[in-house]
Structures are given as C-alpha cells and as structure tokens.
C-alpha cells in the first residue's frame, strides 16, 4: 500500500485544498493511505476537527522570520528543531512514499526533511504568485503544481498547471438552506450578497463596507456577513441594524451559505476564489493590501479573466464599490450551482503518481 503525507497549515486557504485532495485519493485510490500534517495553531486544529480529520501536529507555531522579538525567534527556532526531529520520525515510522506540501509556514520543515532523506516531495501552490517554500522547492528540483495558469516568478516550464482541489458541498434549495442557517428572518426577496473575510475573518473588510451599505442604492440588496461574534459587533457598530443586513457565525461547511448567495464580496484568497469559480458565483474581490508579494491582487486578476467578477481596492471610492456590485449582478439570475468533479485532484494525482510508481490508467 502506498502512503502519501499531505502537509497544510496556517489558514483554510492552504488546508481546505489539502483536505479536498485527501478525500479524492481516499475515494478513488483504495490502495493509497493518506495522512495529514499541520502546525500547532488553534485555527488549524479547529479546521481539521470540523472536517473529522485527526492530523499529525508538529510542535511549531510559525516561522522565526515572522516575529520581531529575540525571545520569540529563539522559541520558534526551538520549535523548528523539535518539528524537524518529529517529522523525520513520522516518515520513518509510517514508511511514507511521497509528501505533498500545500503551503503555510509548516511546509518548510517537511520540505527539508524529505529533501535530505530522498523522500519524493511535491508542492501545490494555490496562489498565482509562488510563496517562499514553493520558490525554494523549485530551486531544489521538486515538482510544483499550480492552481492557476501562472505562478510568478516561475517560468511556464517550471510548474504544472493542475488547478486548486475544491471541497465538496451539499447544496440545497435557497429557502431550505436559509432556514437551516436559522437567521430569524425570512428568505429575502432581494438579491443576496455574501461577505467573506477568509478563515481569519477580516475585520478591515467589514469596516470598509460601512459607508457603502449606508447608500440608498445598496438598500436594494441584502448583505449576509460571515464571521464570529466579534465581527457581528463590528458590523452593528459600522452599519447599525438595517433590515438588509444579517451576520451568520463562522461556518466551516459553506454549503448553506453558497446555496443562498447571488454574489459575494471577498478577499483574494486562492481557495475561496476557486470555490466561487467552481460554483459559478460572481464576486467583487477586495485584495488584502498586506498580502505577501501582492498575491491577492494577482489572484483576483486571474479570477476575473475567466469568471464574472470585479476588483475593488481599499482606497477606491464607495461609488466604485456600488458600480462593482451592479456590474456583477447586471442581467443575471441566481445561477445553477454544481460541485467540483475532482478534475483538479485527478490532475494533481497524475503528477504525483507518475513519480512514485503508481500510474493511473
């Protein structure tokens, strides 16, 4: 039996594609055993638990480069050392045939351990801009799979375009999905705009939308914010309590949310954009300005090239935001929703299987 280790940590943008790929392998490759590896941040544990997966936790909480204090750097360097030993032991005890890295701070250690122990390692880059580990992997001669047709700054012959594996959804009729969310209101007759801040639940995005939602033109739409109780307080502070706004708590299963929305306002995370593209949901993308290498802006450009969408920047005017909303909803009805057929996962598996001796017929 082949054993494949999937490494993903940090945020849902890295973890959800890994989970989707792991489930595809389990369903379609019965002789392959899948295991998951992540770091020790509480968010990672929460996401995996919501998916009924028990990963192998490495005792690391972040990169030493991502913290300023000397004591913090020393603590994380110690975590790196312990994680290096822990992951090496995992490879030896579980006889792993290949390791697939889906990004996040946790990917660096498995990359180096696999490289030093000659275990085949692959990298899946969800963003249209290669991260640090992806660039290092390419320089080390590892195979890189990209979620988009571009993977800056890698040349086209340095990566394989496979797409982003997308998790499955149990989509329902809008009325049923709305009732299951228990919002205490009837399903609006207006078009519903979902507002997504990513798995970290961006407070800034909620604040930015305050001036726009007070405009009379926006009263023609219903806005459904996704977030935790803190975001609900922020939404009330900035928007008051108008009849065209509701806040729903954090959802790791997005089935009901995606079933009711006609469009979304979202950050530029690659995993979310891939889900929206799969489901045919138009989007106004608000790239996070502090994203490394401006990758959210580039993700957004890739998204709107092939999907109904528009980009609104944080320094653009409220009027421009309204125009973006109207643009993506103009002459559209609630689109039929479908779920991924797993083509992205199959493409990624073909790349891996050709290197570990298990060809797919």
Section 164-173 average pLDDT: 93
Confirm if 142 and 118 have CB atoms less than 8 A apart.
Answer: no
Using a CB cutoff of 8 Å and minimum separation of 24, what contacts does 25-33 make? 25/345, 25/349, 28/342, 28/346, 28/349, 29/2, 29/349, 29/358, 31/1, 31/2, 31/358, 32/1, 32/2, 32/3, 32/4, 32/358, 33/1, 33/2, 33/3, 33/4
Indicate whether 129 and 185 sit together in one domain: no
Q: Which residue has the higher pLDDT, 79 or 242?
A: 79
Q: Considering the domain boundaries, does residue 336 fall inside one?
A: no
Q: Considering the domain boundaries, does residue 361 fall inside one?
A: no
Indicate whether 15 and 130 sit together in one domain: yes
Indicate whether 263 and 350 sit together in one domain: no
Indicate whether 131 and 13 sit together in one domain: yes
Indicate whether 47 and 142 sit together in one domain: yes
Indicate whether 8 and 157 sit together in one domain: yes
Q: Considering the domain boundaries, does residue 101 fall inside one?
A: yes
Indicate whether 287 and 352 sit together in one domain: no
Q: Considering the domain boundaries, does residue 335 fall inside one?
A: no
Q: What is the pLDDT of residues 292-335, one digit of tens each?
A: 889 999 999 999 998 889 999 988 888 888 889 888 887 555 55
Domain CATH for 280: 3.40.50.2000
Strands of the 191-196 sheet, one edge to the other: 245-248, 221-226, 191-196, 263-266, 283-285, 309-311
Indicate whether 217 and 71 sit together in one domain: no
CA distance 199 to 189: 29
Say yes or no to pLDDT of 120 above 80.
yes
Section 140-145 average pLDDT: 96
**How many structural domains comprise the chain?**
2
Indicate whether 136 and 234 sit together in one domain: no
Indicate whether 203 and 266 sit together in one domain: yes
- What pLDDT is attached to residue 236? 58
Residue 13: count other Cβ atoms within 10 Å of its Cβ.
26
- What pLDDT is attached to residue 349? 95
Indicate whether 41 and 78 sit together in one domain: yes
Residue ranges making up the domain that contains 289: 174-329
Indicate whether 183 and 287 sit together in one domain: yes
CA distance 355 to 346: 14
């Amino acid at each position: 039996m082949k054993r494949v280790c999937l490494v993903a940590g940090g945020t849902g943008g890295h973890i959800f594609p890994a989970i989707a790929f792991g489930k595809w392998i389990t369903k379609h490759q019965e002789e392959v055993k899948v295991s998951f590896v992540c770091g020790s941040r509480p968010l990672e544990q929460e996401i995996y638990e919501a998916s009924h997966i028990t990963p192998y936790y490495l005792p690391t909480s972040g990169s030493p480069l991502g913290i300023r204090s000397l004591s913090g750097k020393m603590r994380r360097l110690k975590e790196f050392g312990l994680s290096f030993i822990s992951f090496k032991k995992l490879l030896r005890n579980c006889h792993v045939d290949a390791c697939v890295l889906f990004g996040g701070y946790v990917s660096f250690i498995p990359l180096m351990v696999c490289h030093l122990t000659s275990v085949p390692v692959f990298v899946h880059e969800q963003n249209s801009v290669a991260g640090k580990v992806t660039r290092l992997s390419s320089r080390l001669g590892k195979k890189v799979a990209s979620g988009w047709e571009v993977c800056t700054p890698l040349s086209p012959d340095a990566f394989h375009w496979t797409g982003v594996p997308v998790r499955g959804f149990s989509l329902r009729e809008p009325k049923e999905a709305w009732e299951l969310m228990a919002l205490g209101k009837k399903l609006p007759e207006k078009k519903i705009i979902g507002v997504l801040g990513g798995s970290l639940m961006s407070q800034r995005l909620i604040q930015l939308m305050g001036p726009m939602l007070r405009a009379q033109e926006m009263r023609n739409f219903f806005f459904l914010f996704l977030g935790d109780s803190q975001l609900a307080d922020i939404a009330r502070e900035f928007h008051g309590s108008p009849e065209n706004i509701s806040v729903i708590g954090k959802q790791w299963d997005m089935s009901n949310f995606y079933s009711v929305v006609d469009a979304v306002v979202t950050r530029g995370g690659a995993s979310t954009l891939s889900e929206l593209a799969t489901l045919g949901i138009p989007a106004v993308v608000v790239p996070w300005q502090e994203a490394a290498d401006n990758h959210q802006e580039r993700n957004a450009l890739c998204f709107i090239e092939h999907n109904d969408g528009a980009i609104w920047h944080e320094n653009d005017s409220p009027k421009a935001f309204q125009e973006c909303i109207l643009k993506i909803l103009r002459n559209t009805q609630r689109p039929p929703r479908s779920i991924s057929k797993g083509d992205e996962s199959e493409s990624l598996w073909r790349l891996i299987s050709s290197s570990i001796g298990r060809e797919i017929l």
